């Protein structure tokens, strides 16, 4: 086993030194990797030649250590059966540790965009810095920071795909615009298997947006169709009412004609000079005539209503809905 290397501990914040530390004293990690990758080959190599590059840790108040950089190397060292591991002990606070982790892993491209987003979010929470300030600190554009952070607002299935390294944050931003869950899952699968480009992901999102707009238009047209159907039903009912009234008037007219015939017959049978009391018959005729006038007025009103419905129907446009999903 290599001899224990140790430098004089620094007292300034941010200073560091290297030494062999016991693995069992490393109790936590600043961030654990969501996808550790293949560790067995790394473990075999460490077992043969030892760990060539030290990990970076910081010492916590309880005396334990926390991994800043090198979580995968630590796991491989454990698999290789090492009891101690060379480590750079960096005396820094959590915010500084995150900054160093980001600086190392962003440029080495080891992290997924989800892991980067988690680190950026935590760093902003600790420091109170805005996205543009974080961008300046790490030499990135504000748009780059914004795109990474957008992953954390994406639907769960999109976040999972980014976390496992299947798609990038750029893909995630576009695929998140697909609101239909089944369509989104198909797009994620396509992006994973066929290496869908960001441009293609954007086109998929735009197609989904167009689809949603068409669905909204269909719903609007359906409501209009129901309204017009209701108007047609109302028109049919009005026609039925008019027909019934016409039949009733026809019956009343027959009754009046019958009474007129009865009166004429009575008058011809009455003796000369004899007064004929038609009071009862006359009252009946008046009542029938009054009812007749009421029915006629009702017919006029219904005809006017029917005319108004016909005018509305002229304005009704035949609606044909064609939708291809």
Q: What percentage of the chain has pLDDT greater than the value 70?
A: 76
Q: Give the CATH number of the domain where residue 19 resides.
A: 3.90.1530.10
Lowest mean pLDDT among 73-87, 179-193, 256-270: 256-270
Nearest to 55 by CA among 33, 40, 44: 33
Distance of alpha carbon 101 from the chain centroid: 34
Owner of token pair 């944050």: 169
d(CA 93, CA 285): 110
Comparing 144-158, 198-212, 259-273, the range with the smallest average pLDDT is 198-212
* Tens digit of each residue's pLDDT (9 = 90 or more) over 89-114: 988 999 999 998 888 777 666 788 99
Domain termination site, one of 61, 92, 123: 92
CB 6 within 8 A of CB 17: yes
Number of domains in the chain: 2
* pLDDT of 209 higher than 70: no
Rama region for 139: left / alpha / beta (φ>0; ψ in -120 to 50; rest): left
Asked whether residue 255 is assigned to any structural domain, the reply reads yes
Q: Is residue 132's pLDDT more than 70?
A: yes
User: Of 42, 58, 92, which one is at a domain's C-terminal end?
Assistant: 92
Please check the confidence at residue 8 and state whether its pLDDT lies above 50.
no
CB atoms within 10 A of CB 230: 10
> Is 209 part of a structural domain of the chain?
no
User: Does residue 189 lie within any of the structural domains?
Assistant: no
Residue 116 lies in a domain: no
Residue 198, domain member (yes or no) = no
Tell which of 68, 92, 116 closes a domain: 92
> 137-162 pLDDT, tens per residue?
988 899 999 999 999 999 999 999 99
Does residue 69 form part of some domain? yes
Q: Is residue 26 part of a domain?
A: yes
pTM given for the model: 0.53
Domain range for 40:
1-92
Instruction: Give the Cα-Cα-Cα angle 208, 211, 217 (nearest 5 degrees).
Output: 145
pLDDT at 87: 94
In a domain, 193, yes or no: no
Residue 235 reports pLDDT greater than 60: yes
* Mean pLDDT, all residues of the chain: 78
């Amino acid at each position: 086993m290599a001899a224990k290397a140790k430098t004089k501990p620094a007292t300034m914040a941010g200073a560091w030194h290297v030494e062999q530390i016991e693995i069992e004293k490393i109790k936590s990690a600043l961030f654990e990797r969501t996808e550790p990758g293949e560790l067995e080959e790394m473990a075999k190599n460490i077992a043969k030649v030892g760990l060539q590059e030290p990990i970076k840790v910081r010492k916590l108040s309880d005396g334990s250590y926390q991994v800043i950089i090198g979580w995968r190397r630590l796991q491989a060292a454990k698999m290789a059966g090492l009891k101690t591991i060379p480590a750079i002990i960096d005396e820094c606070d959590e915010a500084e540790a995150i900054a160093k982790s980001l600086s190392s892993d962003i440029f080495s491209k080891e992290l997924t965009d989800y892991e980067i987003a988690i680190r950026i979010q935590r760093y902003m929470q600790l420091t109170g810095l805005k996205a543009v300030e974080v961008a300046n600190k790490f030499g990135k554009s504000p748009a780059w920071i914004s795109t990474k952070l957008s992953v954390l607002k994406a639907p769960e299935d999109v976040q999972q795909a980014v976390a496992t390294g299947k798609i990038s944050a750029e893909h995630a931003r576009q695929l998140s615009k697909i609101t239909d869950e089944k369509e989104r899952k198909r797009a994620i699968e396509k992006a994973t298997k066929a290496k869908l480009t960001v441009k293609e992901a954007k086109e998929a999102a735009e197609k989904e947006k167009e689809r949603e707009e068409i669905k909204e238009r269909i719903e609007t047209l359906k409501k209009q169709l129901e309204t017009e159907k209701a108007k047609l039903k109302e028109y049919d009912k009005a026609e039925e009412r008019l027909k019934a009234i016409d039949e009733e008037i026809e019956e009343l007219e027959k009754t009046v004609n019958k009474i007129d015939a009865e009166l004429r017959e009575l008058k011809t049978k009455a003796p000369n000079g004899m007064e004929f009391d038609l009071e009862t018959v006359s009252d009946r005729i008046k009542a029938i005539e009054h009812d007749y006038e009421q029915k006629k007025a009702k017919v006029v009103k219904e005809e006017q209503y029917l005319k108004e419905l016909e005018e509305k129907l002229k304005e009704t446009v035949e609606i044909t809905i064609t939708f291809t999903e």
